[in-house]
Amino acid sequence: MGGGIALASFFPAWAKPVSSGIAAPLPTVSGEDIKLTIARQSVMIDGKTFRAIGVNGTVPAPLIRLREGQRVRLHVHNQLNEDSSIHWHGLLVPPQYDGVPGVSFPGIRPGGTYLYEFDVKQNGTYWYHSHSGLQEQEGHYGPIVIDPAGTDPVQYDREHVIVLADHSPLSPAAIFRRLKANPGHFNFQRQTLSGLLGGRDQPLKERLDWGKMRMDPADISDVTGSTYTFLVNGYGPEDNWTALFKPGERVRLRVINASAMTTFNVRIPGLSLQIVQADGQNVMPVDVDEFQIGVAETYDVIVRPTADLAYTFVGESVDRSGMARATLAPRPGMRAAVPALRKRPLATMKDMGMDMPGMGGMDMKDREGDPTGEQNASASLATAAAVAGSAMAMGSASEPSAAADMSGMDHSSMAGMDHGGMAGMDGASGMADHSGHQMGSMNMRDFGNAPQVKRDPGVQTISPMPVDRMGDRGQGLQDVGHRVLVYTDLIALERNPDVRAPSRSLDIHLTGNMERFMWSFDGRKMSDVHEPIPFTEGERVRVNLINDSMMAHPIHIHGHFFELVTGHGDRAPRKHTVIVQPGGIATWDFTADAVGDWAFHCHLLYHMHAGMMRVVSVRPKGDAA
């Protein structure tokens, strides 16, 4: 299934008339007693009406403004005809108020009210959302800003909260059904015959090699701009939501990724971005031109526009199938040029967990020797027809792609490999015996590299050579030619509260079968696991997240922060969510200081729904249970 549909066929044409600019602040609630009502409603996005779930009649939900040290009572009334909930993402609250049905409380019944009551122990930028079913996708999310009790170390003249999101005319259940039936259903950016002939996609041999592995390197995002409209504060790109400033001001942008499934690459052409906070935690200021923000992450950014000009805020989806767009301007009605979508990225050998130094074609930049693809364009029609025939024979998941030159590798053992059909079943385990599935000396299904991973059809690959990717730019940003934030750039502004060395280490594998849309930790989905991941109160543990899939995963733990292990010692950046790059390892140290049961999951909504979630249980000291 090549799919030659052009981006313009499903992405707004920027030449169309757009709004003169919506300069409207987010509805805000504050105080010690706050009432929130969850209900169905309709929303208008780019002139079209969509069904949604809102809070207090708005999408996104109202900005909740609190102050560090206060006590807050949040009365949440559910007017839906189904159970609902609110999780306070990143807030350190007692477990019964964390808002995860089945883990820490029973949920809020239709027509019912639940009182969340807790002390506000922190400051910074956070957000809240439903943890019931797939309601988050329908608009059940909102921002939280907590002002510090003392002086804010971040100095600014004006601030704007920017909530990034994705919205679809399809119901979340319909999206999930399509993903289960065909995980590539929303991907209209696969490699095509014309891409081969025009030199825009993989070279011929590379494409054939990836086809033999049944790997699709264009599979960067599961749900794309083919169905999503990407939003800023509930407004689409044509709506042109506008944030105002006076030239010369230091403007603080509190950027929250409240999307269901979209990683955004954020930039403002013409302005430098100074990162001052990550996930609500202050960091040493670092100047960049672009940053990648995973689902559930937050970044606070200072910009200093000095000219009487408008600037375009660009939130480009990681697969470049669309963008969230807004405007920064001195006055409403001003607009700046909107950049075109950049070329979509392709996965690399490194994304497959095969980081072999000296291997040709590791990154897109290694193609610079043939930038125009003239060698590929000279391929004969007979050869191209053979490629097309091969792709058709391999089915919908066989559109290969990546930026890797696998010449000289022995793929003979991979011919006819069928992850989807699981041919050659091993009767003892019910899993195909792919011990011969190797690339050179590397076996992509060597469970010796992950002995705790359950061997079943839900585990398609085990990364042969996963590496620490905390210093890597996010997908598609390797060669953009300007400064890009990476995790190793982040340094905590203040010394970490716990600087003890970990007493033990824990490996957790991020596993899945991308052809069946099956997702899990250690090969086991949430519904198949009855015991939590145990910790003891106060212990210090090093956690290694090992991504055995070819897709990035934003991993979030409830009730705690962790310190990224990036070489900054007692100034390690503290976060609650981290993107684990494909074929990569993300390592963090964590103090289990909140007794109770807590959710731990991938924050890609449909991955969590498919099973990529566990419960973490912190037991009191001296508890023998």
pLDDT digits (tens, 9 = 90+) for 489-547: 999 999 999 999 999 999 999 999 988 999 999 999 999 998 999 999 999 999 999 99
* Position 383 pLDDT exceeds 80: no
Q: What percent of the chain has pLDDT over 90?
A: 69
Q: Which amino acid, residue 412?
A: S
Task: Tell me whether residue 122 is exposed, middle or buried, using C-beta atoms within 10 angstroms of its C-beta: 0 to 12, 13 to 18, 19 or more.
Answer: middle
252 contacts 300 by C-beta, under 8 angstroms: yes
Q: Which amino acid, residue 258?
A: A
Distance CA 461, CA 118 (A): 43
Closest CA to 602 of 508, 534, 507, 515: 508
Q: How confident is the model at residue 359 (pLDDT cuts 50, 70, 90)?
A: very low
What are 285-310's pLDDT values in tens digits? 999 999 999 999 999 999 999 999 99
Task: Name residues whose C-beta falls within 8 Å of residue 381's C-beta, 6 or more positions apart in sequence.
Answer: none
* Three-state secondary structure call for residue 553: strand
Q: How confident is the model at residue 360 (pLDDT cuts 50, 70, 90)?
A: very low
What are 52-85's pLDDT values in tens digits? 999 999 999 999 999 999 999 999 999 999 999 9
* Position 168 pLDDT exceeds 60: yes
Q: How confident is the model at residue 217 (pLDDT cuts 50, 70, 90)?
A: low
Q: Which of 222-231, 286-295, 456-465, 529-538 has the lowest mean pLDDT?
A: 456-465
Q: Which amino acid, residue 215?
A: M
- pLDDT (0 to 100) of residue 412: 32
**Beta-carbon-side half-sphere exposure of residue 447 (alpha carbons within 13 Å):** 17
* Three-state secondary structure call for residue 205: helix
- Residue 624 corresponds to which tokens in the numbers above? 């023998």
Distance CA 436, CA 229 (A): 43
* Position 12 pLDDT exceeds 90: no
Distance CA 65, CA 418 (A): 53
Distance CA 121, CA 326 (A): 33
**Beta-carbon-side half-sphere exposure of residue 248 (alpha carbons within 13 Å):** 0
How distant, in Å, are the alpha carbons of 90, 151, 203 from that of 71?
17, 20, 61
More confident residue, 267 or 344: 267
Distance CA 143, CA 163 (A): 7
- pLDDT (0 to 100) of residue 206: 62
Distance CA 600, CA 617 (A): 10
Give just the sign of the alpha carbon dihedral 141, 147, 149, 150: positive
Closest CA to 30 of 75, 72, 58: 72
Closest CA to 174 of 227, 229, 236: 227
Q: What percent of the chain has pLDDT over 70?
A: 77
Residues, the chain:
625
pTM for the full predicted model: 0.83
Q: Strand locations in 31-101, DSSP E?
A: 33-45, 48-55, 63-67, 71-78, 87-89
Q: How confident is the model at residue 212 (pLDDT cuts 50, 70, 90)?
A: low
- pLDDT (0 to 100) of residue 403: 32
Helix/strand/coil percent split, the chain, to 5? 15, 35, 55
- pLDDT (0 to 100) of residue 186: 86
62 contacts 142 by C-beta, under 8 angstroms: yes
- pLDDT (0 to 100) of residue 466: 92
Q: Which amino acid, residue 47?
A: G
- pLDDT (0 to 100) of residue 209: 58
* Three-state secondary structure call for residue 412: helix
Residue 381 backbone phi and psi in degrees, to 5? -60, -35
* Three-state secondary structure call for residue 418: coil
* Three-state secondary structure call for residue 401: coil
Look over the chain and give the mean of its residue pLDDT values, rounded to a whole number: 83
- pLDDT (0 to 100) of residue 348: 77
120 contacts 94 by C-beta, under 8 angstroms: no
- pLDDT (0 to 100) of residue 410: 35
Distance CA 178, CA 621 (A): 46
Give CA 316 to chain center in angstroms: 13
209 contacts 415 by C-beta, under 8 angstroms: no
